[in-house]
């Protein structure tokens, strides 16, 4: 048996938003593989149940799924209360839920802009607020926000034309730094992962038209792979990152350089 040491999450509970599919599921599996029990929340609870069932079958961890729209405060409050009732303290929060809207800035409906902001920024704030309250009481916690390379550098319109998404992710990056400053005294670390292009439902359309161009411009000449994201999430969730907070880690093959 391999000694996990600094990366051992045995006895920890992780709440992963948007954990039913894509990058969220990848990160939930990574934490479960190293000992964490997993609470998954998703607007589509069926996907969340698939993740929870896989985690239990594959790794023998306790796992539950919850239906939650992270942009609705009442649903966030109820979900956090239910997770604490079912699992006890939440030690790790991964704010992964997100949405996007591809459109020229001059043509984007304001309703679309608001939807992206409400889910990406608003949901990250609400989950952090209500999970953070019990982390403050317990004086420990790891919060991992999922930003994006799109929030670090601007892309030309022919690669990514989603100004609301990019702006929301830049906001998440600063929210991460500000919250890390405010909550460090309580033993809470707040960091962010900024993925580059990975194959997912959200990136499917962009990659279908621009994958060769994106790979060609990437210093490592490839898209992201699940292992890369698993490593970053595990690092930030574990004791290995105990002296790291307020940082934005780009997992992008160097595309943000």
- Report the CATH number that the domain containing residue 169 is assigned in CATH: 3.40.50.720
What pLDDT is attached to residue 1? 42
Output the tens digit of pLDDT for each of the chain's 257 residues. Answer: 444 589 999 999 999 999 998 899 999 999 999 999 999 999 999 999 999 999 999 999 999 999 999 999 999 999 999 999 999 999 999 999 999 998 999 999 999 999 999 999 999 999 999 999 999 999 999 999 999 999 999 888 877 889 999 999 999 999 999 999 999 999 999 999 999 877 666 565 666 666 676 777 778 887 777 788 999 999 999 999 999 999 999 998 888 88
Which one is catalytic: 59, 66, 110, 165?
165
User: Can 110 be counted among the known catalytic residues?
Assistant: no
Q: Degrees (nearest 5) of the Cα angle 170, 182, 8?
A: 85
In a domain, 64, yes or no: yes
Are the C-beta atoms of residues 77 and 57 closer than 8 Å to each other? no
**pLDDT at residue 24 in the model:** 94
Q: What's the total number of domains in the chain? A: 1
Report yes or no on 173 lying in a domain: yes
**Is residue 97 in some structural domain?**
yes
Count of alpha carbons within 13 Å of 175, Cβ hemisphere only? 25
Identify whether 2 is part of a domain. no
* CA torsion angle 236 242 243 248 (round to 10): 10
Q: Is residue 1 part of a domain?
A: no
Q: How far apart are CA 175 and CA 2, in angstroms?
A: 37
Residue 207's pLDDT is 63
User: Which secondary-structure segment (H or E) carries 138?
Assistant: helix 123-138
Please give the residue range of the domain that contains residue 13: 9-251
């Amino acid at each position: 048996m391999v000694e996990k040491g600094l990366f051992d999450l045995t006895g920890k509970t992780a709440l992963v938003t948007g954990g039913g599919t894509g990058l969220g599921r990848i990160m939930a599996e990574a934490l479960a593989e190293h000992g964490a029990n997993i609470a998954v929340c998703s607007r589509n609870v069926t996907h969340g149940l698939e993740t929870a069932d896989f985690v239990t079958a594959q790794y023998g961890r306790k796992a539950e799924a919850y239906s939650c729209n992270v942009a609705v405060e009442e649903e966030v409050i109820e979900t956090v209360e239910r997770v604490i009732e079912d699992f006890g303290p939440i030690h790790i929060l991964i704010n992964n839920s997100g949405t996007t809207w591809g459109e020229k800035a001059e043509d984007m409906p304001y309703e679309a802009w608001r939807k992206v902001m409400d889910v990406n920024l608003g949901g990250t704030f609400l989950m952090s607020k209500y999970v953070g309250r019990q982390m403050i009481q317990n004086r420990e916690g790891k919060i991992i926000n999922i930003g994006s390379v799109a929030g670090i550098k601007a892309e030309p319109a022919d690669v990514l034309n989603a100004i609301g998404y990019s702006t929301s992710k830049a906001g998440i990056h600063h929210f991460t730094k500000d919250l890390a400053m405010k909550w460090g005294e309580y033993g809470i670390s707040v960091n962010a992962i900024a993925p580059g292009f990975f194959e997912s439902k959200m990136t499917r359309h962009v990659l279908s038209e621009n994958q060769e161009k994106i790979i060609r411009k990437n210093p490592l000449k490839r898209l992201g792979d699940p292992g890369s994201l698993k490593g970053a999430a595990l690092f930030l969730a574990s004791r290995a990152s105990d002296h790291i907070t307020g940082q934005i880690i780009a997992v992008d093959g160097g595309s943000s350089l």
